[in-house]
C-alpha cells in the first residue's frame, strides 16, 4: 500500500492547479483531460486498489456549495463543518476561507484525502483531512455539506439514514444535487439553484442546473 506522500506525488504529476468558472476564488489540482488521468490512474490505482479519480474533478455539487458559501460567509462563520464525500475539497476550502471554526473533510478514497490536503495548502487554509469513513458516527458538526452524493443507489441507501440522524441531532445538512437519479424526493427543502458549467467529458451536457437542499426533519411528534 502506498502512503500519503506517494498519493500527493501522483496527484501533482497528473493534474494542474486551476480554478472553475463558477468559483474563480479557489485553485485546485484538476485533470485537464479525463482520458489520460483515467488511464494513468486506472493502472496505478488498480495496482494500489484505489477508486477512480473523482478527486481530480470539481463536480457540480461541490462548485455550487462553494459558490453559496463564498457569497454567504455568515452561514459557516464560527461553525464546525464537515465536507462529506469531499472529493477535491472545494466546499471545505470555501468554508475555511470564510472563517468556519473548524473544517473536517471525509472521503473513503485516500487519494481524495491527499487531494484535499494539497488543495488546502494551495489555498493557504487549514482542513482536517484525517477522516475516512464517517457514516454512522455521532453528530459532532453544526453543518454537513454533501456535494453530488446521490449518483449511485447503494451509496444513497448507505448514507441517507445517517444524514437524517445527524440532522435530528442538530446538524444542518445541505445536499447539492445536479439532478442525479438517486436523490430521495422527500424531506428536502430547496434553498438555492445554480447553473454550473460542465464538460462533455464528464456529463452529457455543458451545463447542469444544481440545487442546494436542506434536509428537513419533521420535529413534530406523530
Ligand X SMILES: C[S@@+](CC[C@H](N)C(=O)[O-])C[C@H]1O[C@@H](n2cnc3c(N)ncnc32)[C@H](O)[C@@H]1O
Closer of 40 and 218 to ligand X (Cβ): 40
Question: Would you say 75 and 51 are in contact if contact means Cβ atoms under 8 Å apart?
Answer: no
Q: How far is the CB of 54 from ligand X (least distance, A)?
A: 4
178 binds ligand X (CB under 6 A): no
Q: How far is the CB of 149 from ligand X (least distance, A)?
A: 6
Helix (H), strand (E) at residue 119: helix 110-122
CB of 159 to ligand X, least distance (A): 6
Measured between its terminal Cα atoms, the distance across the chain in Å is 51
Nearer to ligand X, 98 or 176 (CB): 176
Q: Quick one: the chain helix, strand, coil %, rounded to 5?
A: 35, 25, 40
CB atoms under 10 Å from CB of 193, counted, come to 11
C-alpha cell at 151: 449518483
**151, 156, 162, 184: residue in contact with ligand X (rule CB under 6 A):** 151
- Is 71 or 219 the residue whose CB approaches ligand X more closely? 71
Instruction: Tell me the per-residue interface mask from 17 to 46 with ligand X, x by CB under 6 A, - otherwise.
Output: ------------------------------
The 10 Å Cβ neighbour count of residue 151 is: 17
Site string for ligand X, 105-134 (x = CB under 6 A): -xxxx--x----------------------
> H/E element holding 215?
strand 207-215
Angle CA 173–184–182, to nearest 5? 110
Nearer CB in complex with ligand X: 48/222: 48
Residues touching ligand X: how many (CB under 6 A)?
A: 23
Please, what is the minimum distance in Å from the beta carbon of residue 11 to ligand X? 13
CB environment 81-106: b (16+ within 10 A), e (fewer): bbbbbbbbbbbbbbbbbbebebbbbb
Rounded least distance, CB 219 to ligand X, Å: 27
Q: DSSP character for 138?
A: P
Residues 51-110 that bind ligand X (CB under 6 A): 51, 54-55, 58-59, 61-62, 85-88, 90, 106-109
Binding site residues, ligand X, CB under 6 A: 51, 54-55, 58-59, 61-62, 85-88, 90, 106-109, 112, 135, 147-148, 151, 155, 158
Amino acid at each position: 500500500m502506498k502512503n500519503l506522500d506517494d498519493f500527493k506525488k501522483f496527484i501533482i504529476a497528473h493534474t494542474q492547479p486551476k480554478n472553475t468558472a463558477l468559483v474563480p476564488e479557489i485553485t485546485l489540482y484538476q485533470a485537464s483531460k479525463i482520458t489520460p488521468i483515467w488511464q494513468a490512474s486506472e493502472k496505478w490505482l488498480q495496482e494500489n486498489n484505489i477508486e477512480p479519480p473523482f478527486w481530480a474533478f470539481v463536480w457540480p455539487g461541490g462548485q455550487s456549495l462553494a459558490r453559496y458559501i463564498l457569497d454567504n460567509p455568515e452561514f459557516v462563520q464560527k461553525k464546525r463543518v464537515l465536507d462529506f464525500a469531499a472529493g477535491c475539497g472545494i466546499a471545505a476550502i470555501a468554508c475555511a476561507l470564510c472563517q468556519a471554526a473548524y473544517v473536517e473533510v471525509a472521503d473513503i478514497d485516500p487519494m481524495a484525502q491527499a487531494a484535499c490536503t494539497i488543495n488546502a495548502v494551495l489555498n493557504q487554509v487549514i482542513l482536517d483531512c484525517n477522516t475516512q469513513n464517517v457514516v454512522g458516527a455521532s453528530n459532532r458538526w453544526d453543518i454537513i455539506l454533501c456535494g453530488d452524493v446521490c449518483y449511485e443507489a447503494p451509496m444513497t441507501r448507505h448514507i441517507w439514514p445517517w444524514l437524517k440522524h445527524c440532522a435530528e441531532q442538530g446538524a444542518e445538512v445541505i445536499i447539492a444535487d445536479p439532478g442525479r437519479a438517486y436523490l430521495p424526493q422527500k424531506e428536502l427543502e430547496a434553498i438555492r439553484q445554480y447553473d454550473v458549467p460542465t464538460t462533455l467529458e464528464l456529463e452529457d451536457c455543458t451545463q447542469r442546473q444544481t440545487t442546494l437542499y436542506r434536509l428537513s426533519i419533521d420535529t413534530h411528534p406523530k
